[in-house]
């Protein structure tokens, strides 16, 4: 029996891979609800990435809607969504706020210099503590927050052109229509 263990373990792994392939071809892996949906975003007070002495709080951002994009230089999927964000940022209709997650500031700046910087504002959460309040458990994640500071939509995983067109843009449009 003991000697069968490696075989069984491997077959379980293969099952996982098979599932992964099947899932990828069939499903949108990124649809999951958040308990914070339609609730006020948690309060935060974080330094700017480029001017670490200046702090940005939730109150500073009230008054206009924004898309909070959690990213990190070490996050591979962030490299996938980055060109999408870069192309979409001007026509998004809301401000794009970059939330640099668990990242050394130098790495983040280097990464942005290499890949481009689509963000209107960049805040840094080096320890990842505030991210816990947001329920972030990895990068990339994105939160659509309205002018009153309420989370209107959350997306886990990279924003692909498909996600942008079918999910994010409609969510933004619905939000803007409701509260001009």
Partner 1 sequence: MTPELGQLALILALLLALAQGILPLLGAWRGNHALMAVARPAAAGQAVFVAFAFGILTWAFLHFDFSVQYVADNSNLELPWYYRIAAVWGAHEGSLLLWILILNVWTVALAAFSQKLPEVFASRVLAVMGLIAVGFLAFTLFTSNPFGRLLPMPSNGADLNPVLQDPGMAFHPPVLYTGYVGFSVAFAFAIAGLLGGELEQAWVRWARPWTNVAWAFLTLGIVAGSWWAYAELGWGGWWFWDPVENASFMPWLVGLALIHAQAVTEKRGSLRAWTILLSIFAFSLSLLGTFLVRSGVLTSVHAFASDPRRGVFILAFLTIVVGGSLLLYALRAPRVAGGKPFQLLSRETALLIGNLMFAVAAAMVLLGTLFPLIGDALNLGRISVGPPYFGFLFPLLMLPVVLLMPFGPFLRWGKGESPLLKQVLLRAGIAAAACAIVAAFFVDGKLKAIAGVAALVWLGVGVLLYAYKRWRDVPPGRRYPAEMVGMLLAHLGVGVFVAGVLLTESLSVTSDVRMAPGQTQHIGSYDFRFDGAHRTTGPNWKADQGVITVTRDGKPVTVMHPQKRTYLRGQVQTESAVDAGIFRDLYVALGEPMDEGNIEGAWALRLYYKPFVRWIWGGGILMMLGGFTCAADQRFRVKRAVAVRADLVPQETRA
Examine residue 35 and tell whether it contacts partner 1 (CB under 8 A). Answer: no
Q: Which of 16, 90, 178, 180 binds partner 1 (CB under 8 A)?
A: 16
CA angle (167 as vertex; 170, 86 as ends), nearest 5: 95
Q: What is the dihedral of CA 16, 142, 49, 135, to 10 degrees?
A: -70
CA nearest 145: which of 115, 123, 116?
123
Measure the CA–CA gap between 125 and 18, rounded to whole angstroms: 36
Instruction: Say how many residues touch partner 1, by CB under 8 A.
Output: 43
Q: Determine, following the binding rule CB under 8 A, whether residue 54 of this chain makes contact with partner 1.
A: no
Q: Which stretch binds partner 1 (CB under 8 A): 53-61, 77-85, 89-97, 163-171?
A: 77-85
Q: Write out the binding residues for partner 1, residues 137-166 only, by CB under 8 A.
A: 137-141, 156-158
Phi and psi dihedrals of 145, rounded to 5? -120, 130
Residues that bind partner 1 (CB under 8 A): 3-4, 6-7, 10-11, 14, 16-21, 23-25, 29-30, 32, 72, 74-77, 79-80, 102, 106-107, 109-111, 113-114, 128, 137-141, 156-158
């Amino acid at each position: 029996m003991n000697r069968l263990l490696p075989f069984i373990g491997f077959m379980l792994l293969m099952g996982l891979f098979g599932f992964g392939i099947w899932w990828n071809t069939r499903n949108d892996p990124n649809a999951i609800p958040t308990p914070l949906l339609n609730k006020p975003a948690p309060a935060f007070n974080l330094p700017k990435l480029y001017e670490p002495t200046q702090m940005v709080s939730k109150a500073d951002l009230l008054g206009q809607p924004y898309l909070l994009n959690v990213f990190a230089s070490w996050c591979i999927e962030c490299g996938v969504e980055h060109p999408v964000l870069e192309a979409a940022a001007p026509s998004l209709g809301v401000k794009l706020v970059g939330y640099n997650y668990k990242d050394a500031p130098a790495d983040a700046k280097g990464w942005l210099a290499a890949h481009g910087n689509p963000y209107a504002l960049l805040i840094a959460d080096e320890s990842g503590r505030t991210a816990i309040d947001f329920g972030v458990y990895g990068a990339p994640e994105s939160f659509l927050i309205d002018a009153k500071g309420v989370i209107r939509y959350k997306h886990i995983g990279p924003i692909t052109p498909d996600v942008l067109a079918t999910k994010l843009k409609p969510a933004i449009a619905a939000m803007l229509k409701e509260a001009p």
